[in-house]
Amino acid sequence: MTASNPEIQKPQMIVVFQQNHSARFKIQGIQKYGGDLFQLEIISIDEPLPPIVDDPEQYLPGDFEGDLVLDFLRHPDLSHELAKRCASRQIPCIASGKKLEIAEAITPPT
């Protein structure tokens, strides 16, 4: 809330990472039902990826900020790296339905 008007809240910044439009329905739902409560930044990776990603820097931005990260990436190497980056920035990372072997991501079942 702002000091000048306690009724006005600053929108929460949600950063959505998606691969090949994998989050399109979630994004539409947030936009439809979230109104002005959320501001979205969408980071899309739409190119074919190798089976093993040795250098995540090629695909993930070096710098991002937000109140929450939603991980809809399909490549496990990128999801793992994203979770580590979020943890280092103290940004909660939701990777729904994934079986990541990393404590830094919240992985609820779908």
Specify the CATH number of the domain 12-47+56-94.
Answer: 3.40.50
- Nearest-angstrom CA–CA distance, 54 and 65: 24
pLDDT at 1: 47
65 vs 100: which has the higher pLDDT: 65
pLDDT band at 32 (very low <50, low <70, confident <90, very high): very high
| Structure confidence at residue 64 (pLDDT) | 93
Please compute the mean of the pLDDT values over residues 77-103 and round it to a whole number. 86
Give whole-number Cα distances, 97 to 4, 43, 62, 109, in Å: 41, 19, 25, 4
In the prediction, which pLDDT does 31 show? 95
3-state secondary structure of 76: helix
Q: What pLDDT is attached to residue 46?
A: 93
Give yes or no for a contact between 40 and 14, defined as CB atoms under 8 angstroms apart. yes
Dump pLDDT digits (tens) for 34-77: 989 999 999 999 999 999 999 998 999 988 999 999 999 999 99
Measured between alpha carbons, how far is 79 from 96 in angstroms, rounded to an integer? 11
